[in-house]
Structure 1
């Protein structure tokens, strides 16, 4: 935008550009749409974003996003305590829940091992995962990290950690393309991969 255009409008466009896959043109279209056609929903969006950002934190057990100290899944006494599924991101929890019949618990890494980016075991909370392996009656650790190079390295590291506690590790199998991201995989493919997991 030129210097003669609204500073507030420019600020709104720049704010939209922080979203993934949103470039300058898309951000501009979103800003104009809200201002020209949907101010009421724009205010609702702003209020919802502020409320979520101020009140959503991480579950103290699995580290997924929640507004409570312990999330809904970790609070569910009907779930299987002997299985723990390790995923990279909170969105992966949602993907697995929607696509599979899995009824165990989760541990969210909030990333993957990437030494070049300064992300090591401490940044992924692997000390917390190790404590769960030590303290809980976990019999199977399901490695559902994304099938990228970093995801595979992370899975291998965690499998070695689990071996110290004689916990069997499995890896989600065929159907998920190499280099893919779980939250972009369709439900039937993810369900098939989950059901076909193998020893790691």
Structure 2
């Protein structure tokens, strides 16, 4: 039973392909776009096409950029002796918002996940190893605290330790403002494991 013309159904389908967007949200977005003035729709479409056409990956770290190398890699005030390994470019935004880290990054573009058919050769590990030189003092592994993220962190540690570089892992545990009664066993275990002296 088709409620909409084919063009509207197609647009709903396309919006629904976006992460976190279900059919109802895609439908709302489609109907909103249809009610926009033609100039705004043209600007939106042009922004999509321009972003897709001009944004590329930094040849050094793998972050999104419109210049190569990216602004972080080319910034002389960044500490190049520390590399923070993350899963996706969007993770850089989260870490940069904290304003505590002044090193550089390396984006893996995924994690090791045998269930999904992704092995070490499917993520940017060779590129990471090529970046290790005598100037690099520490590698911070900031993959997500799930099975795949932990497996990837352990694999990275195993391949980098023989190179003489310090490999650390971001801490995991109970979030600020969280209640212990709502924390799962793994989170509490990690919180106890990573405890610090007061």
Q: TM-score band, normalised by the shorter chain?
A: 0.7 to 0.9
Structure 1 residues 63 and 136 mapped into 2: Cα distance closer, same or farther (>3 Å)? farther
Give the number of the structure whose alpha-carbon radius of gyration is greater.
2
Gaps of 5+ in 1: 178-192
What is the SS of the residue equivalent to 2:120?
coil
Residue 56 of structure 2 contacts residue 64 of structure 2 at CA under 8 Å; is this kept in 1? yes
1:175 is displaced (CA, Å) by 4.2
Matches within 5 A, 1:11-160: 11-133=10-132, 135=133, 137-160=135-158
From the superposition, tell whether residues 46 and 174 of structure 1 become closer, same or farther in structure 2 (CA, over 3 Å). same
The aligned counterpart of 1:165 is 163
Equivalent residues, number: 179
Q: Which residue of 2 aligns with 1:180?
A: none
The Cα RMSD (Å) is 2.2
Shift of 1:125: 1.5
3-state SS, counterpart of residue 15 of structure 1: helix
TM-score, reference length from structure 2: 0.83
Quick one: structure 1 residues 66 and 136, their matched pair in 2 at CA, closer, same or farther if it must change by over 3 Å?
Answer: farther
- Kindly indicate whether structure 1 or structure 2 has the higher relative contact order, using CA contacts under 8 Å at least 6 residues apart: 1
TM-score by length of 1: 0.82
| Stretch moving more, 139-148 or 12-21 | 12-21
Answer whether contact 2:61 2:106 (CA < 8 A) is retained.
Answer: yes
Against the structure 1 CA distance between its residues 153 and 108, is the aligned structure 2 distance closer, same or farther, given a 3 Å change threshold?
same
Q: Secondary structure at the match of 1:82?
A: strand
